[in-house]
Amino acid sequence: MTLSGDTAAGRLAIIAGGGLLPSYVAEAARAAGENPVIVALKDESDRRWEGYDHAVVGIGDFAALDGLFNRYGVGRVVMSGSVRRRPEWREVRPTLRILMKVPAAIRTLLSGGDDTVLQMVIRLIEGNGRRVVGAHEIAPDLLAAVGPLGAVAPGEEDRRDIARAAEAAEMLGRLDVGQGAVSIGGRVVAMEGLEGTDEMLERVTGLRAAGRISPRRRGALVKLCKPQQDIRADLPAIGASTVFNAKKAGLAGIAVEAGRSLVLDRAGVIRAANEAGLFVCGIDRGLPAWGLE
Amino acid sequence: MTLSGDTAAGRLAIIAGGGLLPSYVAEAARAAGENPVIVALKDESDRRWEGYDHAVVGIGDFAALDGLFNRYGVGRVVMSGSVRRRPEWREVRPTLRILMKVPAAIRTLLSGGDDTVLQMVIRLIEGNGRRVVGAHEIAPDLLAAVGPLGAVAPGEEDRRDIARAAEAAEMLGRLDVGQGAVSIGGRVVAMEGLEGTDEMLERVTGLRAAGRISPRRRGALVKLCKPQQDIRADLPAIGASTVFNAKKAGLAGIAVEAGRSLVLDRAGVIRAANEAGLFVCGIDRGLPAWGLE
C-alpha cells in the first residue's frame, strides 16, 4: 500500500452525514492510498461502515469528536454528506476550548445558516491543529465540469430557464438559505429551503398534478454553490435519484455549478439522464451564457 | 342610494379570483354606494355570486371580458383574489387590439412572473379607456397598519426572525417569485414559490414533525409586497386561516407590510391570533427596525 505524502501529516478522518457522498469519498480515499477512519454522525449517516475503522458520534458532541481524533492520530478531516438536524442545546458537548468561546459558538451552532454553522465547525476543528480538506480534494473525479454530461444538451428555452433558476439560486445562496431553484417557462416556480432538493422537486410534481404549471413547459433545476461558502463543506451534489425526481417533475434537465458541485455515481447519472431524455450539465457563472453556447 | 363621484366615470367591475378577498371587496363597494358587476374567473372564483350582476369568464378570454365591460358600461376595474392557473395557449382569446401586440402580450401571459403578467393585464384593460383601481381603494379598511393587531406583540427574538424573513421576502419579490418567507431561530427555512403561503406553512409543519426544526424555536412568517409591483393587483393578504396555519407550523406570529398588504376579516384574524397566542403585526421597511421598536 502506497501512502500519499499527506498521510504523514496524520490520518484522514471522514465525518459522514447522510446520503451517498461519504461512501464515494471513503472509496476514493482508499483508492488514493489512505486508510480513513469514519466518524458516522448519529441519526444522519445511513449506511454501515464495516470494513473501515469507524465510530458513531452525536451531532454537537465535540468532546467525543476530539477524543476520536486524538485516539486515531487524525491530522486531516473531510466533512461529507447531509446533516439534516441541528443539535439541541442539551446535546452540545463542548470541549474546554469551545467553552472559552461560549456563547458565540453555541449560538451559531443552534441558529446560524448552514454556511455560518459549517464555518464555525471548521474553525473548531482547525483550532486544534488539524486541517479540514474538501471532499473534492480526496475525490476530484466527483467534481462537475462545464458542458453536458450525457447525450442531451439544453436547448434555447432550457438555457433561458437555466439562467432564471441560476439567478434565483445565487440569491438564495447569498442569503445562506439554500442552493437550488426550479424555473419553468422562464418563471421561477420553486426555491429550495431547509427541505432540500428532492422535496422541492416533489413540490413541482404536485404543482403539475394540480394543473398549475403548463404541461407544455418543461423547465430546469439549477444547483449552485453559495457564493460565499467554504467549498470544503457542503458542495451541492446530484445523483441518479436527482435525475429520476427531475423527470417526475416534468423537467427538461439539471444544471449544476462546474468546479463547485459534485456528481455522485457519474455513470449512473449519465445512464439515468439518457434513458429519461434529460440534460445534465455543468455551468460556470464566470463564462458568457454560463458556458452553454 | 348615494352614488360616489367616481361612479359617473362608469360602473365598477370586480374581477374575482379565488379566496375571500373578492367578497370583502364586493361588500365594501356596496357599502360605498357602488353597484359592482362581478366577473368570476372560471376555475378560480370559489363562491357563488347570487345577488350581484355577475358572469363567469375563462382566464385569458379577453374577448369575453371586453364584451362584458361594454355591456355593463364598466369604467373602473378591480382585480382581486388569487389566480392559480396560467392560461394555456389555446385558451387565450385575444381582442383585436391584443392581436396587434402579439406575440409579446401572449408570451408574457403564458410565461412571465406574476408581476409581469399583472402589468400586462392592467395595460390591456386600461388601453381600452378603463381605469384599473386597487382593492384597497375600494376597501381601505382592509389595509394593514404598522404595529400589533391583536393582544400579542413580537418579542426580541421574534423581531430578529421578522427581519431575517423580511430580507428573504424582499429578495423573492425582486425576482418576482413570491411574497412570503419563514424564519425560525434567525434562519430562513422556507421561501414561497408558486405553491403559496398555506402550502409553505404546511412544509414548515412537516419539517417540525420530522424533527428538523428545534421545538424550542418558534419563528415568524413575513409577507411583503414585491418592491416593484403595481399595488393595484395582488397585494399580499392574510386571513384567519393564515393564523391557524402559522399556529400549526409552530410559529410565534405573522408580520405583513403595512399599507401594502390586506387583512381579511380583521375581527376574525384578531380573535384567532389572541386565542392562539400569536402576534400579527404590520411592519414598514421605511422605519427603523421595521417600525417594531
Q: Answer yes or no: is pLDDT of B206 > 90.
A: yes
Band of pLDDT at residue A4, cut at 50, 70 and 90: very low
| B201-225: average pLDDT | 93
Q: What is the CA radius of gyration of chain B?
A: 20
| B34-56: average pLDDT | 92
Chain A residues close to B213, C-beta within 8 Å: 194
Q: Which residue has the higher pLDDT, B266 or A92?
A: B266
Cell 469528536 appears where?
A65
Chain B residues close to A187, C-beta within 8 Å: 111-113
Residue B241: name the closest of B254, B227, B228, B225 by CA.
B254
Of the spans A73-82, A231-240, A258-267, B250-259, which averages the highest pLDDT? B250-259
* pLDDT at res. A244: 98
Q: Which 8-state DSSP code applies to residue A28? A: H
- For CA atoms B56, B58, B60, B64, give the dihedral sign: negative
| B247-266: average pLDDT | 95
| B112 reaches A (C-beta below 8 A) | yes
State how beta strands A187-191 and A180-184 pair: antiparallel
Q: Which residues contact residue A262 at a Cβ distance below 8 angstroms, ignoring those fewer than 6 apart? A: A21, A135, A136, A142, A143, A144, A235, A236, A237, A238
* pLDDT at res. A1: 37
Among A106, A156, A174, A191, the strongest candidate for a mutation testing the B interface, having the largest count of B CBs within 10 A, is A191
Other Cβ atoms within 10 Å of B109 Cβ, number: 23
| B58-64: average pLDDT | 82
Specify the range with the lowest mean pLDDT, choosing from A192-206, B70-84, B253-267. B70-84
**Mean model confidence pLDDT for chain B:** 86
| A142-155: average pLDDT | 95
Q: Do residues A208 and A250 touch, judged by C-beta distance below 8 A? A: yes
Chain A residues close to B216, C-beta within 8 Å: 88-89
| A77-82: average pLDDT | 88
Q: Strand (E) positions, chain B? A: 11-16, 37-41, 53-57, 74-80, 131-133, 147-148, 180-184, 187-191, 220-223, 237-238, 253-257, 262-263, 279-283
**pLDDT 10s digits, A10-44:** 899 999 988 888 999 999 899 889 999 999 998 88
What is the rounded (10 degree) CA torsion for A37, A42, A48, A52?
A: 10
Specify the range with the lowest mean pLDDT, choosing from A62-66, A108-112, A259-263, B153-157. A108-112
* pLDDT at res. A234: 76
Specify the range with the lowest mean pLDDT, choosing from A20-29, B70-79, B88-97, B255-264. B88-97
The CATH architecture that domain A5-139 belongs to is 3-Layer(aba) Sandwich (3.40)
> In this prediction, does ipTM exceed 0.90?
no
Chain B residues close to A199, C-beta within 8 Å: 203
Q: Which residues contact residue B221 at a Cβ distance below 8 angstroms, ignoring those fewer than 6 apart? A: B165, B180, B181, B182, B197, B201, B242, B246, B249, B251, B253, B254, B255
Ranges in chain B annotated CATH 3.40.50.20: 5-140
Q: Which residue has the higher pLDDT, B290 or A53?
A: A53
Give the separation between CA B228 and CA A107, rounded to whole angstroms: 36
* pLDDT at res. B175: 87
State which residue of chain A sits closest to B111, comparing Cα positions: A185
Hey, which CATH number is domain B5-140, 3.20.20.80, 2.60.120.260, 3.40.50.20, 3.40.50.300? 3.40.50.20
Sheet harboring A279-283: ordered strands across?
A147-148, A279-283, A253-257, A220-223, A180-184, A187-191
* pLDDT at res. A98: 60
* pLDDT at res. A7: 47
Q: Which residues contact residue B122 at a Cβ distance below 8 angstroms, ignoring those fewer than 6 apart? A: B79, B132, B230, B232, B233
* pLDDT at res. A91: 65
| B85 reaches A (C-beta below 8 A) | yes
Band of pLDDT at residue A112, cut at 50, 70 and 90: low
Indicate the helix (H) or strand (E) that contains A182. strand A180-184
Q: Are B191 and A211 inside 8 Å of each other by CB?
A: no
* pLDDT at res. A105: 59
Q: Are B207 and A194 inside 8 Å of each other by CB?
A: yes
* pLDDT at res. B227: 83
| B78 reaches A (C-beta below 8 A) | no
* pLDDT at res. B283: 96
CA distances from B224 to B136, B156, B173, B179 (A): 15, 20, 8, 5
Of the spans A43-47, B56-60, B208-212, B240-244, which averages the highest pLDDT? B240-244
* pLDDT at res. A257: 96
Give the separation between CA B124 and CA A3, rounded to whole angstroms: 72
State how beta strands B11-16 and B74-80 pair: parallel
Ranges in chain B annotated CATH 3.40.140.80: 143-291
Q: Identity (one letter) of the amino acid at B263?
A: V
| A107-120: average pLDDT | 66
* pLDDT at res. B4: 45
Residue B252: name the closest of B154, B126, B176 by CA.
B154
Q: Identity (one letter) of the amino acid at A246?
A: A
Give the separation between CA B137 and CA B76, rounded to whole angstroms: 11
Give SS3 for A40: strand
CATH of domain A143-291: 3.40.140.80
Ranges in chain A annotated CATH 3.40.50.20: 5-139
* pLDDT at res. A95: 64
Q: Which residues contact residue B263 at a Cβ distance below 8 angstroms, ignoring those fewer than 6 apart? A: B142, B143, B144, B149, B237, B238, B239, B256, B269, B280
Give the separation between CA B225 and CA B143, rounded to whole angstroms: 12
Of the spans A41-50, A97-106, A161-170, A208-217, which averages the highest pLDDT? A161-170
* pLDDT at res. A224: 96
* pLDDT at res. B3: 42
**How far from the centroid of its chain's Cα atoms is residue B61's Cα?**
22
| B159-177: average pLDDT | 93
State which residue of chain B sits closest to A215, comparing Cα positions: B88
* pLDDT at res. B159: 96
Q: Answer yes or no: is pLDDT of B287 > 60.
A: yes
Q: Which residues contact residue A97 at a Cβ distance below 8 angstroms, ignoring those fewer than 6 apart? A: A124, A127, A128
* pLDDT at res. B124: 76
* pLDDT at res. B234: 76
